[in-house]
Structure 1
Amino acid sequence: MDESAEIVSDGGHEAAAAAAIMDTDNGLVEEEKNTDVKVAPALISVHPFEKSVVVAVGSELRLFDLEGDCSVSLKDDSGGPFHSDAIRAITFGAKGRLFVSAGDDKLVKIWATSSWHCARSVSADKRVSAVAISHNGKYVAFADKFGVIWLITLDEDDANQSKVDNKAVPILGHYCSIVTRLEFSPDDRFIASSDRDFKIRITAFPKRPLKGALEIQSFCLGHKDYVSCLSFAHPLGYDHGFLFSGGGDSTVRLWDFFSGLLLATCEVGAKAELLQSTGTKDSYPPVTDLCSSFDGTIIAVAIQSLHGIVLLNCDFSDRTLSVAKVVTLEENYFPTSLASSTFTQRMWTIMGASNHLTPSTTQLPTRIRVISGYCKDRSNDNGYGPTVLEDSEVPGSQKLLSHLQGSPDVTKEDTALAAAAEAVKVSMRNMLIKKEYTLDKRELRKRNRNDRKLR
């Protein structure tokens, strides 16, 4: 393995200041001594028909049934353990029948939403960074921190033919680069995978995927920093559809993914006037998440230093992306994850993290804000555009918020929210920004690698 591409941040540990020390047993020099707990951004996912909402905070999954107006406890019938470490990826299937969670405990758990029992639990070799469910509900794909993408088949015939029993099969790889997002195209013909090395790979999804996905359709190259999020759009009148991406270069880009051609770029950080001075050069904060409307004409974008979201208009015929509106939320609220419900035209946002940077505080606040009407015409100012709902107007109201947010008192503390924002910022940087090592340090790390399995 090329050590220059080695994954050096395997879980977003927060760096604590410490002097370099020498381990006399193995000669390994430690530059950092991690005495603090890990920080994982809070995640939110909404059932495609808005039947339920799921929040992941650390190793905890919180579920609220909107149809039954009640919280639900998840049950594990798979015989495996519950999540015991930070959850890094959650998603509903396109039809809402499946839900998948995965993370740092190397577990991929597949839940049946009809009963909210874990139907299957698969152990990965490395920590999991991204998951996706095929639109036909037959496959679950996940990526680990070493850039390998694995496939779980839910199709009994496929599983019997390949003699696979509760195991995942590797189908493609990103050469030791952390995969940040996975998405199946709406027709399941392609799977898009992005990584921290600025690239997006479009792979043709084969008829027999358990044999491997070897045919690369295209590479979408143009981002100047890591790619953080992806979203397919399939508007009427276009054969293959399009792909949106957001990244650490503070841009959202529109792609003809079939050919890999970059069609449009919107510098959302610059448009939202979020210029930062880094001391050596000026930069813009990264895009943390995005999601698009069903037809792809509206894209909601979360930016690390923006207390709100940016709504973009996409004109596919003119190949343009333009800022339609910046929806401002309260100060010190910086969304870490977005989820949309097309049928109700509601955008669900969450801000939070699993733990604090300092041992004195064991839990950071989690805060949910919901925006209604984000897909509607925003050309006038007569209240017909996006509206930030009050807590009493959110579906499920206080009952939902109390369950999904945790303690209702700490969420109102501005200082706690500011600490959460800073924790998530440091966590994302440690996980996605590469560390530079001297040749001597690289050789030292190579000799002391702990991921080599004994034969």
Structure 2
Amino acid sequence: MEEENDKNPETDVAPAVISVHPTHKFVSAAVGSDLRVFNLQEGCVVTLTDESGGHKDSIRAIRYSANGQLFISAGDDKLVKIWATDSWRCIYSVASEKRVSAVAISNDGMFVCFADKFGVVYVVDIEDHNVEELVPVIKKGVPILSHYCSIITRLEFSPDGRFIVSADRDFKIRVTVFPKNPVNGAHEIQSFCLGHTDSYKSRVSKISGYPVTPINYLTSVWSSEFEAEIIDFNGKEEEILPAVTDLCATPDGSLVAVAIQSLSGVLLLRCNQSTRTLSVAKVVSIPGETFIPTSIGAASSSPVLWMAMGASSLHVSESVSLARVRGISGFSTSASESLDHNTSVLEDAEIPGGESLLQTLQGKLSIGKEAFSAAAEAVKTAMRNLLIKKQYSAERREFRKRGRNDVKSKQ
């Protein structure tokens, strides 16, 4: 019996991710190993400087710090890059033992946390960086907590910085007290958010930074009111309810945008924190094209919800990495009561930064429908493979154990 190849190069593509500067100064997108940044205030492309070399493999997570002074990127090359946004120079390069699946930065900007695909969360102390140093400082993360051999799909700090929240694909959300000296470990667990029992209807893959409440309640929101909207791009009903691939909340948490694996658009939910309930506010569909967001983001100072769709290593076009960026207006606290009038899909000419931004973040402006359809299908397959655990028979599990590298090294 031969060992199966668990990694299919044709379907193991990395989805495009997007992140927005908290004051709406920059918009960043990552497609494959390409990190693309656009300066909205000056209307120009940002040039990144990294003396140690850029990312060599697909970037899986990007994130701005709360004050916007730092930017984090990490992914399959087992590197975490920390950038200073005033110069867009890489100031730290952190090596990980495994591929990185999620990143977060403390609200005071002193610590960067990252998680790998084996469920371990690491911390890096970055408060002592020297702005005069031209070559990135090489750092190594210190493990502070762990999920049991489960891919961590998202890390978030609470608004007050007291807790770090981690979510995995085994339906667990862990709230951990973030200590003053985390390099010694984060051993105090505040709580677990459990209760997801249906492996499809409650496939919550990511968590919103603020508030955490929508995640606890998200399962019960699945209803016939919007279930009909969740169809694949061919118009066929899904055999299972798809995964939640990304969440984004307004600063006060009153409005939550949800990207769903096969929904061409986003679902907007109202969050009533006094009653701890969610209700469907609106489904914003993207007309005229196959656009299924793989990542969404927004700035606290702008009502634009940014969306990215794309895939790396997809050989369906002349470009190595295929991407599309779109925006929705009216994503703000004031719009939470009048969504029908305030929210709409922006045309390309209406997006902040216009054609220059799209050219920067997408790589090209003209993308055929066939390429989009192929990208949507490839990303759907890849994300489902990532979010849903493979099931093996007892015989198959024993065979895989015998072939593990760590077992071989002991023999």
TM-score higher than 0.5: yes
Q: Distance in 2 between matches of 1:372 and 1:55?
A: 19
- The residue aligned with 2:247 is 290
Which secondary structure state, in structure 1, belongs to the residue aligned with residue 358 of structure 2? helix
**Structure 1's 147 and 273: CA in aligned 2 closer, same or farther, altered over 3 A?**
same
- 1:99 CA displacement: 0.4
Per-residue displacement from partner, 1:154-211 (whole Å, max 9, x unpaired)?
1339xxxxxx972210000001111110000011100000001111000011122111
- 1:439 CA displacement: 2.4
Q: Distance in 1 between matches of 2:117 and 2:151?
A: 5
CA RMSD of aligned residues (A): 2.6
- The residue aligned with 2:378 is 423
Alignment of 1:202-241 (within 5 A): 202-223=175-196, 224-225=198-199, 226-233=203-210
**Structure 1's 167 and 365: CA in aligned 2 closer, same or farther, altered over 3 A?**
closer
Q: Distance in 1 between matches of 2:170 and 2:177?
A: 21
Q: Distance in 1 between matches of 2:181 and 2:389?
A: 35
- The residue aligned with 2:327 is 370
- The residue aligned with 1:89 is 61
Counterpart contact for 1:293–1:342, Cα < 8 Å: yes
Q: Distance in 2 between matches of 1:167 and 1:111?
A: 16
Counterpart contact for 1:291–1:339, Cα < 8 Å: yes
Counterpart contact for 1:146–1:177, Cα < 8 Å: yes
- The residue aligned with 1:187 is 160
- 1:437 CA displacement: 1.8
Per-residue displacement from partner, 1:411-435 (whole Å, max 9, x unpaired)?
xx22211111111111011122111
- Paired AA for residue 192 in structure 1: V
Per-residue displacement from partner, 1:54-105 (whole Å, max 9, x unpaired)?
100001101111122110121114xx33111111110000100010000010
- Provide structure 1 residue ranges, at least 5 long, that are not aligned to the other structure: 1-21, 23-27, 158-163, 235-241, 254-264
**Structure 1's 37 and 388: CA in aligned 2 closer, same or farther, altered over 3 A?**
closer
The higher radius of gyration belongs to 1
Q: 1:53 aligns with which of 27, 31, 39?
A: 27
- Paired AA for residue 207 in structure 2: L
Counterpart contact for 1:139–1:151, Cα < 8 Å: yes
Counterpart contact for 2:214–2:278, Cα < 8 Å: no
- The residue aligned with 1:11 is none
Q: 1:390 aligns with which of 341, 347, 357?
A: 347
**Structure 1's 114 and 126: CA in aligned 2 closer, same or farther, altered over 3 A?**
same
Which secondary structure state, in structure 2, belongs to the residue aligned with residue 81 of structure 1? coil
Q: 1:319 aligns with which of 276, 279, 290?
A: 276
- The residue aligned with 2:302 is 344
User: Is structure 2 residue 82 aligned with structure 1 residue 110?
Assistant: yes
Counterpart contact for 2:316–2:371, Cα < 8 Å: no
- The residue aligned with 2:134 is none
Counterpart contact for 1:372–1:386, Cα < 8 Å: yes
- The residue aligned with 2:290 is 332
Which secondary structure state, in structure 2, belongs to the residue aligned with residue 140 of structure 1? strand
- The residue aligned with 1:309 is 266
User: Is structure 2 residue 117 aligned with structure 1 residue 140?
Assistant: no
Q: Which moved more, 1:359-368 or 1:332-341?
A: 359-368
How many residue pairs match? The answer is: 393
Q: Distance in 2 between matches of 1:286 and 1:192?
A: 20
- Provide structure 2 residue ranges, at least 5 long, that are not aligned to the other structure: 130-136
- 1:124 CA displacement: 0.3
Per-residue displacement from partner, 1:427-450 (whole Å, max 9, x unpaired)?
011122111222232222222213
Counterpart contact for 1:274–1:285, Cα < 8 Å: no
Per-residue displacement from partner, 1:291-335 (whole Å, max 9, x unpaired)?
100100000111111111111111111222111111111231111
- 1:452 CA displacement: 6.0
- 1:273 CA displacement: 1.6
Q: 1:355 aligns with which of 305, 313, 324?
A: 313
- The residue aligned with 1:403 is 360
Per-residue displacement from partner, 1:339-379 (whole Å, max 9, x unpaired)?
012212110011111122x6887645311111111224365
User: Is structure 2 residue 143 aligned with structure 1 residue 170?
Assistant: yes
Q: Which moved more, 1:435-444 or 1:185-194?
A: 435-444
User: Is structure 2 residue 36 aligned with structure 1 residue 62?
Assistant: yes
Counterpart contact for 2:48–2:89, Cα < 8 Å: yes
**Structure 1's 43 and 35: CA in aligned 2 closer, same or farther, altered over 3 A?**
closer
Q: Distance in 1 between matches of 2:354 and 2:317?
A: 31
Counterpart contact for 1:228–1:245, Cα < 8 Å: no
Q: 1:252 aligns with which of 198, 218, 242?
A: 218
Q: Distance in 2 between matches of 1:94 and 1:453?
A: 44
Counterpart contact for 2:243–2:384, Cα < 8 Å: no
Q: Distance in 2 between matches of 1:120 and 1:313?
A: 39
Counterpart contact for 2:11–2:381, Cα < 8 Å: no
Which secondary structure state, in structure 1, belongs to the residue aligned with residue 118 of structure 2? coil
Q: Which moved more, 1:202-211 or 1:30-39?
A: 30-39
Q: Distance in 2 between matches of 1:83 and 1:283?
A: 35
Point out the structure with the larger helix share. 2
Q: Which moved more, 1:32-41 or 1:306-315?
A: 32-41
TM-score by length of 2: 0.88
